[in-house]
Structure 1
Amino acid sequence: MAEKAWYDVSPSAARLTGSLRDIGYEFSTAVADVVDNSVAAGATRVQILIEHEGAQSRVFVADDGHGMSPSALLEALRFGTRRSYSRGELGRYGLGLKTASLSQCRVLTVVSRSSKSAVRTCARSLDLDLIEEWDQWVIVDPSSADPAVVRARQWLAEGTGTVVIWQSLDRVLPEKRPEGGWARRRLDTLAARTAEHLGMVFNRFLVGPSGRPQLVITVNGQKVQPWDPFAQQESATAELPTQRFEIESAGAVGKVTLRRFVLPSRDQFADSAGFDRLSGPLNWNRQQGLYVYRADRLVQWGGWGGIRGIDEHTKLARAALEFDTDLDTAFNINVAKMRVTLPAQLRQLIEPSVNELCALADDAYRKTSRAKSTPVPADLGASAEARATSQAATTAGLALRMAAMQADQWDAWAQIENLLRQQSPDVAELLGLSDL
Structure 2
Amino acid sequence: MKEQHSNTVDITPSVRIFTVLRNTGFDIKAATAELLDNAVDANAREIDLYAYISDQGKKNLLVVDDGMGMSTDALKASLTLAELSKGGIDELGKYGMGLKTAALSLSRKFEIFTMTAKSGIVMYAEFDVDKMEEKNKFEAEIREATEDEANFFLSKLGRGKRSGTVIRIADCDRFDPSATTYANQMEIYIGKYFKNFIEKGLSFTVSDVPGKGKRIKPIDCLMRND
TM-score band by shorter chain is 0.7 to 0.9
Alpha-carbon shift at residue 65 of structure 1 (Å): 0.9
TM-score between the two structures when normalised by the length of structure 1: 0.45
Give 1:86 deviation, angstroms: 5.4
| Aligned counterpart, 1:219 | 206
2:224 aligned residue: 232
| 1:61 paired residue number | 63
* TM-aligned CA deviation for residue 229 of structure 1: 1.4
Quick one: distance in 1 between partners of 2:97 and 2:172? 19
Distance in 1 of aligned mates of 2:6 and 2:190: 51
> Which one has a bigger Cα radius of gyration?
1
The alignment status of 1:160 with 2:163, answered yes or no, reads yes
Mapped contact 1:40–1:90 kept (Cα < 8 A):
no
CA contact (8 A) 2:113 2:167 kept: yes
Using structure 2 for the length normalisation, give the TM-score: 0.84
- Measured against aligned partners, the alpha-carbon deviations of 1:68-113 in whole angstroms (never above 9, x if no partner) come to 1011101111121134625698832211111111111222111111
Secondary structure at 2:107 match in 1: coil
Distance of aligned partners of 1:52 and 1:147 in 2 relative to their CA distance in 1, 3 Å threshold: farther
Residue aligning to 1:170: 173
CA offsets 1:176-208 (integer angstroms, 9 cap, x no match): xxxxxxx73x2x221111111111211111112
Partners of 1:101 and 1:149 in 2: CA distance: 21
Instruction: Return closer, same or farther for 1:50/1:192 CA change in 2, 3 Å cut-off.
Output: same
Q: Which residue of 2 aligns with 1:322?
A: none
Q: How does 1:23-422 map to 2 (within 5 A)?
A: 23-53=24-54, 54-83=56-85, 85=87, 91-116=93-118, 118-141=119-142, 144=145, 150-156=151-157, 157=159, 158-173=161-176, 184=178, 186=179, 188-208=180-200, 214-220=201-207, 221-234=213-226
| Structure 1: gaps of 5 or more residues | 174-182, 209-213, 235-436
Aligned residues, how many?
216
- Alpha-carbon spacing, 1:165–1:21, altered in 2? closer, same or farther (3 Å): same
2:224 maps to a residue whose letter is: Q
Supply the distance in 1 between the matched residues of 2:107 and 2:150 (Cα, whole angstroms). 16
Q: Is the 8 A contact 1:45 1:63 kept in 2?
A: yes
Which whole-Å CA distance do the structure 2 matches of 1:127 and 1:66 have between them? 25
Q: Which one has the bigger helix percentage? A: 1
CA contact (8 A) 2:122 2:150 kept: no
**CA-to-partner distance for each residue in 1:209-241, whole Å, 9 max, x for gaps?**
xxxxx211000212112121122213xxxxxxx
Structure 1 CA distance for aligned equivalents of residues 19 and 140 of structure 2: 16
Gaps of 5+ in 2: 208-212
- Does the aligned pair in 1 maintain the 2:124–2:142 contact within 8 Å? yes
Q: 1:92 to 1:2 in 2, by over 3 A?
A: same
Mapped partners of 1:163, 1:215: distance in 2: 17
Contact 2:84–2:95, Cα closer than 8 Å, also in 1: no
- Distance change in 2, residues 1:142/1:108 (3 Å): farther
Are the equivalent residues in 1 in contact too, given 2:122–2:144 (CA < 8 A)?
no
Residue 26 of structure 1, CA deviation? 2.1
